[in-house]
Each structure stands twice: as structure tokens, then as C-alpha cells.
Amino acid sequence: MLARRLPALRTPYARQASTKSSLRQVLEEVVPIKQQRLKQLKAEHGQAVIGDVKVENVLGGMRGIKAMLWEASVLDPNEGIRFHGMTIPECQKLLPPAPGGKEMTAESMLWLLMTGRVPTPEQSRELSRELAEKGELPVHVQHLIDSLPASLHPMTQLGMGVAALNHDSAFQAGYEKGIKKTEYWTYALEDCINLIARLPTLAARIYRNIYRPGAPLASVDKDLDLVGNYTNMLGFGDNKDLTEYLRLYIALHGDHEGGNASAHTSHLVGSTLSDPFLSYSAALFALAGPLHGLANQEVLRWQLAMQEELGSGHEVSHEDIKAYLWKTLKSGQVVPGYGHGVLRAPDPRFLALQQFCEARPELLESPTIALVKKTYEVAPDVLKEHGKTKNPYPNVDATSGCVLYHYGLKEFKYYTVIFGVSRALGCLTQIVWARALGLPIERPKSLSMDAIEKLIQ
């Protein structure tokens, strides 16, 4: 137990800075508090034991080892994700929406992740304006993306574009000039804001080139929020329901603690003092892996195959779905969208998306969304009976891609790009904080099987 209570920010939703404070000004207030807290942790509790390492952890991909500092979010196996202590329902209630909208925005989630505080509507809107003003792509990145073949995977193009943005990195330029370590975070913040601002423009250009060649690409509208601009540039600006869905989707996917592959990659590369553009491009290539960011595509394919075999989600029976689930399991496949590396309860993000669906008649009428809901009513019991799944409950991927498909965004390979736009909020927040707290280069100890056997003996 800690000898005495460490200094901490008050409960975030009890704190709001002055409406005149910018994101940088709030961080200038918060950073010294966190720095002092870290200093005290090191001094008073540096030798405290918070876990142990078993051979199965080393052989199983380091799963479960408590070995990273990640300030913005913590994933509890039973409660799900919390952002600075706030649950998803609390975020939905307290984080400001876009003007005329109901769902929390990417900007308000970014503010919470960065500062631990809830922004005022004015602060969130001002951040939207800043991002819009910085949202245009440099000409050399436009030329790079336009030169790539349409057959090149959109995630490869996104990673290349993000890496190329480092041409204008403030952090890299400042480091070469010899800035003080205490100033690292301010330069990293500048890069991170610029990258978040340009990601939708980059992602939309990739979509246009691959799926809508020759179609006009809308300019960034200074009066729209980040997701409003993104949807508009994708060519879906008239679909207000899709815009609202993407606001919720991107906010919910913004951070999911630091141990997942993309977040860990950005943290690892950033620990070498690579600039945020290079660090996040590496994270995107981790996100592109089938075991990480492609899950909602697999769910949608599986759901559509079930629908083709069984019929409309409105007509199919629970017994038919149960038989299809057993058919999937007996063939040696997993049920996509169910199970999670950490969670042992239904994913709160899935529940939030289901609530979104249930509030919209057009989604309730969708045969695909109806099948998602009926599958949720059957699958947990089947998986429990099967006995080989640690978590028989749905994760966010069980429904996220299906809603995109319903709203007309049907290009499966592009779904992970949207994930990449959202996950930047958390990964880049942590790069700022890693530089503010002076975290060292990450360097775990590796062991051979011989070395492990000697330790056991």
C-alpha cells in the first residue's frame, strides 16, 4: 500500500478550465502536476512489486505483464475501458457534441485524453477550428498519395503518407537545434496536433483515389469539426446519420490503454525520440495486421455469409443462428467479434454502438443490424457451452463494420483506415506525455529457452 496519497487531478468531470484556456494552456497547468507525481512515485515506491512474471507470460506474447505507463485510459476486464476514470456513458453525457449533433466529438475526446479534464463546448469548438485550419495536406504528400497504384492497400498508403508528413516535423527540427528536454513535449504537441488535423484529409484522399477516382475532393471546411470534415471529404457529407455514427465510432476507438499492438508500437518507436509522424506510421502498420485492426471486416464477412445462408435478420430464428454458430465452431473457426484479450464482459463500446442503432429506425429495419442483435442474444450461451473462449461476449467489432456497411461505406479494406484515424487520439496523446514525463527508451529483457530453463532450475 502507498505510504501516503499521491497528488492527483480531481475527478475529471468535476474540473473544467476557463473557457479562455487553450489546449496548450491547460497542458501547461497539468504537466507539472503529473511530473511531480511521477517523481514521487519513483522516489517513494520505485521498489514496490506490482506483479510477477511467469514463463507463460514470456512465451505468450507478454500478455498480462504490467510493464507500461499509459496515462489516459485503463482497461478493466469486467468494467471495460475508462478514460481518465470516466466510463463510456459518462463520456457520452459530458463531452461536448458538435453544433447540431448529439454524439461526443473527436476533439472533446482528445481534450479529455490529453488533459484529464472535460472541455467546455467553446474549448472543443476552438480546437475544431484549429484542426481545420491545419487540415490541408502539404503538396508533396498529395503528390505521393496520388502517385500510388490503386491496388496498394489503403493502410499501406496511410502509413506512407503519415511518415512523409514528418518532412515538416517541429520535434525533429527542434531536436536537431538542441532544444531542452523540458521543452520536448511542446514540440511533440505541435506535431501531434498537425498530424491529427491532417489525418482525415489524407485518409479521404486515399479513399477517393482507390474507390472514387476522378471524383472531386472537398476542401477542409473551417466551420466543421474533424469528423464532419472527414465525412464530407469522403463524399458522404449529406448523410448526417453516418457523420454522427463516425463521431461516436472515432471517439470510442480513440484509446484502449497501451498494451494493444498499435498503441504499444507508437510508444516503443516514440521512446527512441522518433518524431510523432514516424512513431504513428509504425503504429498504423501494426494496426494493419489481421490479428488487430481487421477484425470488423471479418465480422461483416461472416455476418453477410450467415445472412446469405439463413435469410434476413428479421426472419431468421434464434435456433437457426445457434446452428450456424455451432457450424462455425465445429469447422475449427472462431466466431468473429466475440472474445477479447483482456475483457471478460460485454464490451461497453459494443453496447454504446447498439444503443446508437436502437435509437434509429432505419438501423432497426436493416437486416444486417437485426442479425447482429439476434446473434448477440444467442452467441454467449453457445460459446459458454463450447467452453474454449475465455470471454464469450461481443467486442466492439461485432457491430462497428456492419453499421458502416448499412450507411453505404461498403469498401471492407478501408475500414481499418477509419480505425487508424481514430486511434491517433490516444497514441499521440501518450507521445506528448512520454516526452513531458521524460520516459526512457523502452528496452525489455529477452530470454532464450535455455535461459528460461536455467532460471526455473
Active site residues: 292, 340, 397
State the cell numbers at 454: 536455467
User: What angle, 0 to 180 degrees and rounded to 10, lies between the N-to-C axes of helices 397-406 and 367-386?
Assistant: 160
Contact (Cβ atoms closer than 8 angstroms) between residue 270 and residue 169: no
3-state class of 373 per DSSP? helix
DSSP 8-class letter at 392? -
Place of cell 466492439: 396
Place of cell 511467469: 54
Using CA atoms, how far apart are residues 138 and 409, in angstroms rounded to an integer?
Answer: 27
Using CA atoms, how far apart are residues 2 and 105, in angstroms rounded to an integer?
Answer: 37
Q: Which residues contact 202 (CB under 8 A, 6 or more apart)?
A: 137, 141, 145, 158, 161, 162, 165
336 CA to centre of own chain: 19
Using CA atoms, how far apart are residues 448 and 140, in angstroms rounded to an integer?
Answer: 45
Contact (Cβ atoms closer than 8 angstroms) between residue 233 and residue 226: no
Compute and round to an integer the Cα radius of gyration of the chain.
Answer: 22
Reference 281, options 123, 157, 139; nearest CA is 157
Reference 306, options 356, 370, 394; nearest CA is 370
